[in-house]
């Protein structure tokens, strides 16, 4: 027989006000196995805990039931109490007499009766509690950062500066991400490249950072502390160790400037062998295998090879994989700009001089295709420019969410347009969302600069007499307006990367309704995912501007370094366990497991006089998070969840339903 | 004094149990008809538990979990949803009125919804009277 101690907490008058605590404790003392039952004014206080410890010693208790507040509040407290008294912390069961009884029941008799039911159930259950132990697993103290935009760069630098090794994987030939494409940043009008490129160089020179550009993660296995990652390196067709980034091959390429440049958002051309942009890191040329005439058709003079004095061009280059072992992952894969072609009413892709926000950035940028001159497709300066907000955002037909940055970047671009041209500038907006440090002040400044703000979402852009006509309803005047301009800039919103679903699958992270990666808790765990050891930074988690991305990246790096500061990880104690003798090896449990913790193993056993091999399910204790979904899927009842076994739960059910034991 | 039904509620630790806690913290009174059993995830609830509760004399059973898509374990409650659609049909086939077995999604911020759910089920089951099907004769 177990020796159980029961403690009924008054919680001042929080419980005692509605529940007759001494009656409940007298009732508990008559329950099977209970050797001591007390009620006490504040059980969680030091003297309260001391009383329990003394009872454990004096009455030789091996199980403890506490009727108090929610276990979500004080279960850890009382588990510690038990541990300090030399008892297994899992030999505890709490009955929630405050949140579930006294605070929701007016009738004292009913509340007291309900409290007695819950105590009876707890006593029945605690009798069946067993010792549970968690494992210690070592941690590989190297991190993987996926994505080389500003968020990935910041996370990599922070982790590397803390003294840990970082692999930074970037799928493009250069790091920098979208931020490298921007001209100025709001609201301070810092030159984007001026603040970003030093950081890019820091990454490339950091002794703790391995920069794996033009590479992609194709497979992730393992678990927190011990991930195994397969990375695919795309062929550059250029020997990076020989290339100096001089650009002679680029000049020599017969496709020179004939391929739309991704970096220039299609506003400029590049060669088939190219350096993405002048400040690229690594500053090495790359041959576009899908566009190079020699690689696609075998017909070319191979002028690039001739031009390269170092003989760096390597047409026999091929794809190769490598394996990395890391303890934590930061996902910083960024965003895609909303594709304005899907809103044909705005004429993007149809009408010349209708461009999106990123294209305007390239026009405005001094190192861009027009050397920073804001010009129309014909090379003339526009006389009037319209900026259209909320393209794709806050729209039930595309993205319901606000993209957070478009108001500000549209206003910044309006400022640049006013600064660089003599054009009249119009902003068509629904609301201005300028909630950031210095943002509202920037909004006021742009208003003072003579930009016309028209409240009303633009409905349509059409062409008339060589001009672009923007139709909108001016909601402040309450009437439709039509304004003729030369250039329309679409404030396109942010969307998840087009391959976010596959990436989510690769890394076993979930996505929220809008398709961005989901954080573990929207308020309290904003950089963690539900998969331990995988963290989020930047716009892959949701639309963010640069300061927010940097802040989140540093937070993610903090989480990684906090993880790495430990030598071992403790696994969950309440995990699933297979009774291999009962397991039929059907593996119905396997697809139910959200963490991939169940795998098939072959065991050898004696059957009569023969030795046979058969397949059974096995749980990886480091991966199991203890949800127990597998137990309900198990046909034979071989799968059990420690701490929540069928016997334990059914003991509660029986005790609740059957009333006072006889 | 009117007859009070007994409702056994299986609440997942992360959403519904927290929702019930919030009902308490917000002092939202509801009938003392429910006894909550904490489980890690609604996906842990074995249909066997429900049958057992009815056998032992429960008048209604509630399984409450996180909203689909919000599960702490990503997908646990999707299995709950499928499993208990079947369980419901099965119980109906056995002669248990569908009002007696309910599955609800109650998040940690939905204290009022927890209160309403208990009020509703209590009222529905009170109208039906005590559960006589499946009950052990003892």
Residue A628 has its nearest CB partner, among B21, B40, B53, at B40
Cβ-defined contact of A653 to B37 (cutoff 8 Å):
yes
For A478-497, the DSSP string reads TEEEEEEESEEEEEE-EEE-
- pTM for this model (two decimals): 0.75
Worst-scoring range by mean pLDDT, A42-46, A184-188, A302-306, A513-517?
Answer: A513-517
Whether residues B24 and A70 touch (CB distance < 8 A) is answered with yes
Alpha carbon A297 to its chain's center: 42
- Note whether B56 contacts A: Cβ–Cβ < 8 A: yes
Q: What's the rounded Cα separation, in Å, for the pair A124 and B120?
A: 30
Beta carbons of B46 and A70 less than 8 Å apart: no
Within 8 A of B36 by CB-CB distance, chain A residues are: 96, 100
Tokens representing B14 are: 């992360």
Dihedral (Cα; A526, A528, A529, A534), 10-degree rounding: 150
Secondary structure letter of residue A232 according to DSSP: E
Q: Which residues of A touch B73 (CB under 8 A)?
A: 530, 594-595, 625, 627, 629
Mean pLDDT taken over chain B: 90
Paired sense of beta strands A598-607 and A610-619, if any: antiparallel
Rounded distance, CA A480 to CA A488, Å?
18
CA proximity to A273, closest of A243, A241, A296, A251: A251
CB contact under 8 A, B44 and A641: yes
Q: How confident is the model at residue A214 (pLDDT cuts 50, 70, 90)?
A: very high
Pairing of strands A190-191, A184-185: antiparallel
CB contact under 8 A, B8 and A594: no
pLDDT surpassing 60 at residue A661: no
Q: How far is A92 from chain B (nearest CA, A)?
A: 14
Nearest to A632 among B8, B45, B115 (CB): B45
Closest residue in B to A589 (Cα) is: B79
Confidence of residue A585 (pLDDT cuts 50, 70, 90): very high
For residue A658, give the nearest of B17, B41, B56 by CB distance.
Answer: B56
Q: Would you say A323 and A229 are in contact if contact means Cβ atoms under 8 Å apart?
A: yes
pLDDT given for residue B1 in this prediction: 62
* pLDDT score, position A223: 82
Q: Which two tokens stand for residue A333?
A: 């894969």
Locate the chain B residue with the closest alpha carbon to A117: B35
Task: Share the mean pLDDT of chain A.
Answer: 95
Here the ipTM equals 0.96
Measured from the Cβ of residue A638, the count of other Cβ atoms closer than 10 Å reads: 21
Angstrom distance (rounded) from CA A647 to CA A655: 12
Question: Is some CB atom of chain A closer than 8 A to the CB atom of B137?
Answer: no
Pairing status of strand A335-337 against strand A494-496? antiparallel
Residue A455 belongs to what H/E stretch? Answer: strand A452-455
Residues of A in contact with B53 (CB under 8 A): 653, 657
Torsion B32-B38-B44-B48 (CA) sign: negative
For residue A592, which residues of chain B lie inside 8 Å, CB to CB?
A: 43, 75, 79
**A534-536 vs A328-331, strand pairing mode:** parallel
Task: Give me the residues paired with residue B83 across strands.
Answer: none
Nearest in space to B20 (alpha carbons), one of B7, B11, B31: B11
Q: Average pLDDT of B2-20?
A: 92
pLDDT surpasses 70 at A418: yes
Q: Where residue A655 falls among pLDDT bands split at 50, 70, 90? A: very high
In whole angstroms, what is the distance from residue B79 CA to residue B117 CA?
22
Give the best residue of A510, A516, A657, A662 to mutate against chain B (max B CB count within 10 A).
A657
Judged by CB atoms closer than 8 Å, whether chains meet at B43 and A628 is answered as yes
Rounded to a whole number of angstroms, the CA Rg of chain A reads 32
- Judge residue A80's burial from the number of C-beta atoms within 10 Å of its C-beta, 0-12 exposed, 13-18 middle, 19 or more buried: middle
| Chain B neighbors of A625, CB-CB under 8 A | 73
CB A82 within 8 A of CB A54: no
Contacts of A632 in chain B (CB under 8 A): 43-47, 79, 83
A246 and A304 in contact (C-beta within 8 Å)?
no
Closest by Cβ to B27, choosing from A103, A574, A650: A103
Q: Is B97 on the interface with A (CB under 8 A)?
A: no
pLDDT at A581 over 50: yes
**Alpha-carbon gap: B46 to the closest alpha carbon of chain A (Å):** 5
Q: What is the interface size between A and B, counted as CB pairs within 8 Å?
A: 129
Tens digit of each residue's pLDDT (9 = 90 or more) over A474-524 = 999 999 999 999 999 999 999 999 999 899 888 878 788 789 998 887 778
- Hey, are the CB atoms on B74 and A658 less than 8 Å from each other? no
Q: Using the beta-carbon criterion (under 8 Å), do B35 and A118 form an inter-chain contact?
A: yes
Minimal C-alpha gap between B110 and chain A (Å):
14
d(CA A168, CA A462): 45
What sections of A40-186 are H helices per DSSP? 46-58, 71-84, 108-126, 150-161
Residue A508 contacts residue A501 (beta carbons within 8 Å): no
Residue range A609-636, pLDDT digits in tens: 999 999 999 999 888 889 999 999 999 9
Task: Say which range, A135-139, A424-428, A574-578, B98-102, has the weakest mean pLDDT.
Answer: A135-139
**Is B73 within 8 Å of A641 when comparing Cβ atoms?**
no
DSSP assigned state of A313: B
Give the length of chain A.
Answer: 662
Answer with the residue of higher pLDDT: A660 or A142: A142
- Tell me which residue of A405, A201, A233, A191 sits closest to A324, measured CA to CA: A233
Beta strands in B1-138 (DSSP E): 7-12, 34-39, 60-65, 101-105
Burial class (CB in 10 A: 0-12, 13-18, 19+), A321: exposed
> Sign of the CA dihedral B92, B94, B100, B102?
negative
CB under 8 Å to A654, separation ≥6 — which residues?
A124, B52, B56
Band the pLDDT of B135: cuts 50, 70, 90.
confident
Coil, helix or strand at residue A41:
coil
- The C-alpha atoms of residue B89 and residue A269 are separated, in whole angstroms, by 64
Percent of chain A with pLDDT over 90: 90
Q: What is the 3-state secondary structure (H, E, C) of A536-565?
A: ECHHHCCCCCHHHHHHHHHHHHHHHHHHHC
- Strand-pairing partners, residue A481, are A472
User: Confidence band (pLDDT; 50, 70, 90) for A660?
Assistant: low
Name the residue among A491, A170, A153 with its Cα closest to residue A337. Answer: A491
Report CA dihedral (A642, A646, A648, A649) to the nearest 10 degrees. Answer: 120
Distance from CA of B53 to the nearest CA of A (A): 6
pLDDT tens-digit map of B65-81? 988 877 777 677 788 88
| H or E element at residue A441 | helix A439-448
Chain B's closest residue to A630, CA to CA, is B44
Distance CA A139, CA A561 (A): 12
- The reply to whether omega before A282 is within 30° of 0 (cis) is yes
Token digits of residue A325: 């072992």
User: In this structure, what DSSP letter does residue B67 have?
Assistant: P
- Where is A212: in which H helix or E strand? strand A209-213
Cβ–Cβ of B40/A105 closer than 8 Å?
Answer: no
- Which of A206-220, A647-661, B68-82 has the weakest average pLDDT? B68-82
Q: What is the pLDDT of residue A662?
A: 42
**Looking at residue B138, what is its pLDDT?**
53
DSSP class per residue in A515-527: SSBPPSBTTTBTT
* A534 exposure class (CB count in 10 Å sphere: 0-12, 13-18, 19+): buried
Rounded to 5°, angle at Cα A285 from A280 and A291: 115
A91 Cα to chain B: minimum distance (Å): 16
Q: Cα–Cα distance between A528 and A560 in angstroms, integer?
A: 10
- Contact yes or no for B76/A594 (Cβ under 8 A): yes
Q: Chain A contacts of B40, Cβ < 8 Å?
A: 574, 626-628, 641, 644
Contact A113 B79 (CB under 8 A): no
How confident is the model over A394-398, as a mean pLDDT? Answer: 96
Is the pLDDT assigned to residue A96 strictly greater than 90?
A: yes
DSSP label at residue B42:
G
């Amino acid at each position: 027989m177990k020796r159980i101690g029961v403690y009924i907490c008054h919680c001042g008058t929080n419980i005692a006000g509605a529940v007759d605590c001494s009656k409940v404790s007298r009732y508990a003392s008559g329950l099977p196995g209970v050797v001591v039952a007390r009620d006490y004014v504040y059980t969680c206080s030091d003297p309260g805990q001391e009383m329990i410890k003394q009872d454990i010693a004096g009455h030789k208790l091996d199980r403890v039931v506490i009727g108090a507040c929610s276990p979500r509040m004080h279960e850890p407290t009382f588990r510690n109490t038990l541990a300090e008294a030399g008892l297994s912390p899992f030999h505890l069961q709490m009955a929630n007499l405050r949140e579930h009884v006294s605070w929701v029941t007016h009738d004292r008799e009913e509340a007291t009766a309900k409290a007695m039911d819950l105590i009876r159930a707890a006593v029945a259950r605690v009798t069946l509690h067993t010792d549970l132990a968690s494992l210690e697993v070592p941690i590989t103290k190297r991190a993987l950062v996926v994505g080389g935009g500003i968020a990935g760069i910041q996370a990599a630098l922070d982790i590397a500066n803390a003294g840990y090794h970082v692999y930074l994987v970037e799928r493009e030939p250069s790091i920098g991400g979208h931020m490298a494409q921007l001209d100025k940043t709001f609201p301070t009008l810092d030159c984007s490249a001026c603040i970003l490129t030093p950081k890019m160089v820091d990454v490339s020179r950091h002794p703790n950072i391995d920069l794996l550009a033009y590479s992609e993660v194709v497979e992730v296995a393992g678990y927190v502390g011990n991930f195994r990652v397969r990375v695919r390196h795309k062929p550059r067709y250029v020997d990076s160790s020989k290339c100096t980034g001089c650009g002679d091959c680029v000049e020599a390429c017969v496709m020179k400037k004939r391929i739309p440049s991704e970096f220039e958002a299609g506003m400029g051309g590049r060669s088939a062998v190219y350096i993405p942009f002048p400040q690229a890191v690594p500053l090495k040329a790359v041959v576009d295998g899908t566009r190079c005439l020699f690689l696609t058709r075998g017909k070319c003079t191979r002028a690039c090879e001739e031009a390269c004095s170092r003989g760096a061009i390597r047409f026999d280059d091929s794809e190769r994989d490598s394996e990395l072992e890391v303890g934590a992952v930061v996902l910083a894969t960024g965003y895609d700009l909303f594709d304005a072609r899907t809103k044909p009413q705005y004429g993007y892709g149809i009408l010349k001089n209708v461009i999106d926000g990123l294209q305007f950035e390239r026009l405005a940028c001094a190192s861009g295709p027009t050397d920073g001159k804001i010009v129309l497709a014909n090379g003339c300066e526009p006389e009037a420019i319209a900026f259209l907000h909320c393209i794709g955002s806050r729209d039930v037909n595309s993205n319901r969410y606000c993209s957070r940055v478009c108001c500000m970047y549209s206003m910044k671009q309006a400022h640049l347009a006013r600064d660089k041209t003599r054009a009249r500038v119009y902003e068509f907006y629904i609301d201005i969302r300028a909630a950031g440090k210095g943002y509202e002040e920037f909004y006021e400044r742009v208003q003072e600069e003579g930009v016309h703000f028209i409240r009303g979402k633009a409905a349509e852009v059409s062409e008339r007499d060589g001009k672009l006509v923007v139709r909108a309803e001016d909601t402040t005047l309450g009437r439709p307006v039509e304004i003729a301009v030369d250039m329309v800039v679409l404030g396109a919103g942010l969307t998840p990367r087009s391959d976010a679903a596959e990436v989510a699958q690769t890394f076993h992270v979930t996505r929220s309704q809008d398709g961005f990666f989901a954080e573990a808790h929207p308020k309290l765990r904003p950089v963690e995912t539900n998969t331990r050891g995988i963290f989020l930074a930047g716009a892959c988690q949701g639309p963010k501007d640069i300061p927010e991305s940097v802040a989140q990246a540093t937070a993610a790096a903090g989480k990684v370094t906090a993880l790495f500061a430990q030598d071992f990880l403790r696994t969950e104690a309440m995990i699933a366990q297979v009774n291999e003798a009962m397991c039929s090896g059907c593996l119905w449990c396997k697809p139910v497991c959200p963490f991939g913790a169940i795998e098939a193993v072959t065991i050898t056993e004696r059957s009569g006089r023969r030795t046979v091999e058969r397949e059974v399910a096995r749980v990886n204790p480091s991966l199991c998070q203890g949800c127990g979904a597998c137990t309900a899927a198990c046909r034979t009842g071989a799968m059990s969840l420690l701490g929540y076994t069928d016997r334990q739960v059914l003991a509660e059910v029986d005790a609740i339903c059957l009333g006072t034991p006889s | 004094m009117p007859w009070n039904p007994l409702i056994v509620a299986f609440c997942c630790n992360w959403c519904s149990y927290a929702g019930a806690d919030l009902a308490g913290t917000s002092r939202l009174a509801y009938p003392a008809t429910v006894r909550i059993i904490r489980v890690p995830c609604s996906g842990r609830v074995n249909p066997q538990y429900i049958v057992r509760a009815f056998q032992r004399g429960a008048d209604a059973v509630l399984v409450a979990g996180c909203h689909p898509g919000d599960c702490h374990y990503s997908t646990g409650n999707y299995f709950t949803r499928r499993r208990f659609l079947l369980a419901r049909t099965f119980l109906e086939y056995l002669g248990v009125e569908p009002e007696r077995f309910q599955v609800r999604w109650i998040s940690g911020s939905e204290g009022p919804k927890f209160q309403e759910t208990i009020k509703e089920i209590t009222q529905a089951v009170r109208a039906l009277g005590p559960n006589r099907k499946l009950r052990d004769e003892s």
